[in-house]
Amino acid sequence: MLVEELCNWAKVDSGAVLRIGDRADPAGNDFQLLDHPLGLSVDRASGHPKTGWALAPAGIRGVQATVFYLESLAKLEEAWAMAIKPSDRGLTN
């Protein structure tokens, strides 16, 4: 897959690369890309509890969801983290 090839070329661990696409469901065009714990969908989730997440707020899809994900990233000392609170998704509990 392209992610692994690019990571090999750049000497980066492919397991640490965030992957963003539009359809993580098995019939989706990005299924292979997003079938990973760091796979985020900007439209349809995979349905699998550990891969292909759709974490953007309700009604936010596509480019807006991509912006939401990227703005949720925070640099820690040696790594990046994504800080999405339930309230960011419109959830109260």
Assigned domain for 53 exists: yes
Residue 86: pLDDT over 80: no
Q: Domain containing 15: what range?
A: 2-88
Structure tokens at 40: 């985020």
Query: Which helix (H) or strand (E) covers residue 7, if one does?
Result: helix 2-10
* Stated length of the chain: 93
Rounded to the nearest integer, the mean pLDDT of the chain is 90
Assigned domain for 93 exists: no
How many domains does one find in the chain? Answer: 1
Residue 64 neighbours by CB distance under 10 Å: 13
Contacts of 23 (CB under 8 A, 6+ apart): 29, 30, 31, 34, 41, 43, 44
Using DSSP's 3-state secondary structure scheme, residue 25 falls into: coil
- Residues 39-81 pLDDT 10s: 999 999 999 999 999 999 989 999 999 999 999 999 998 888 8
According to DSSP, the residues that pair with 73 across neighbouring strands are 82
From CA 11, how far away is CA 33, in angstroms rounded?
19
